[in-house]
Amino acid sequence: MPGWFISLEGIEGAGKTTQMHLLADWLQRQGHTVLTTWEPGGTELGQSLRQLLLHHRLPHRTELLLYAADRATHIAEVLQPALQTHQVVLCDRYTDSTVAYQGYGRGMDLHLIDQVNTIATGGLMPDLTLWLDVPVEVGLRRARGRGDLNAIEQESFAFHERVRQGYQALAKQYPQRICRIDAASDVETVFKQIRAAIAGRWREPASECQ
């Protein structure tokens, strides 16, 4: 397999990080070289941006541009080099997070967000996006069970509902790229769906997930 780019998306507590590590192990056991990474914060500069983004209340445009700066750096320093050397890249959040959180959550103009995403990515999009979908009450219960809440986790229930609706809209808009995974069940059941989605995509690269 040449370089393959898979992003994992969803609201807080959807299980992205848990599933990304299971998936990395599974792919490695099949002989693939796998890189796991995340946004915001997948580079040294990104770590500083992450601190600003998650621990301060910033004006919305500032927030949007900092996510874009994090992404442009991440692509140049991490994603492109890995894809060029034929690795499988698993990325915890990417451009769909910006659409869902800044667009649907914050209510920023979706066209503006697309423009900023295009500038940041130069058009690099995942081959496959696994959208781990959970009801907001389930995701927040899991995330809040861990203690300290960051600025976004402290947003209202309605904010997180809008974010989830953003993912629903994206999945409808890009059915070939985005696979909805029912992430409300136990870890192994969720992982089984992910393996099936990936196997389906390998068999039929142009197929729709839903």
Query: Which residues does 160 contact at the CB level (< 8 Å), separation at least 6?
Result: 11, 12, 105, 136, 139, 140
Cβ atoms of 130 and 194 closer than 8 Å:
yes
DSSP symbols for 36-88: EEETTTSSHHHHHHHHHHHHS---HHHHHHHHHHHHHHHIIIIIHHHHHTTPE
Whichever of 43 and 97 has its CB closer to ligand Z5A, that residue is 97
35, 89 contact by CB (below 8 A): yes
- Of the candidate residues 142, 159, 161, 169, the single one contacting ligand Z5A (CB under 6 A): 142
Beta bridge partners of 4: 88
Distance CA 144, CA 4 (A): 33
129 lines the binding site for ligand Z5A (CB under 6 A): no
Q: Percentages helix, strand, coil for the chain, rounded to the nearest 5?
A: 55, 15, 30
Residue 187 in the binding site for ligand Z5A (CB under 6 A):
yes
| Site membership for ligand Z5A, residue 181 (CB under 6 A) | no
Report, in Å, the least distance between residue 163 CB and ligand Z5A. 8
User: Which residue of 55, 56, 61, 146 would you call a contact of ligand Z5A, by CB under 6 A?
Assistant: 146
Q: Is 18 in the site for ligand Z5A (CB under 6 A)?
A: yes
User: Is position 39 an interface residue for ligand Z5A (rule: CB under 6 A)?
Assistant: yes
Task: Tell me the two tokens of residue 93.
Answer: 């959040």
Q: At its nearest, how many Å lie between ligand Z5A and the CB of residue 149? A: 8
Q: Which of 4, 5, 15, 49 binds ligand Z5A (CB under 6 A)?
A: 15
Which string of x and - marks every residue 96-125 that binds ligand Z5A (by CB under 6 A)? Answer: -xx--xx-----------------------
Asked if 10 touches ligand Z5A (CB under 6 A), the answer is yes
What sign does the CA torsion over 117, 17, 191, 12 have? negative
CB of 189 to ligand Z5A, least distance (A): 8
Residue span binding ligand Z5A (CB under 6 A) among the ranges 22-30, 77-85, 149-157, 192-200: 149-157
Measured CA distances, 41 to 37, 53, 100, 119 (Å): 9, 10, 18, 19
Residues in the site for ligand Z5A, rule: CB under 6 A?
10, 12-18, 39-40, 67, 93, 97-98, 101-102, 142-143, 146, 150, 152-153, 186-187, 190
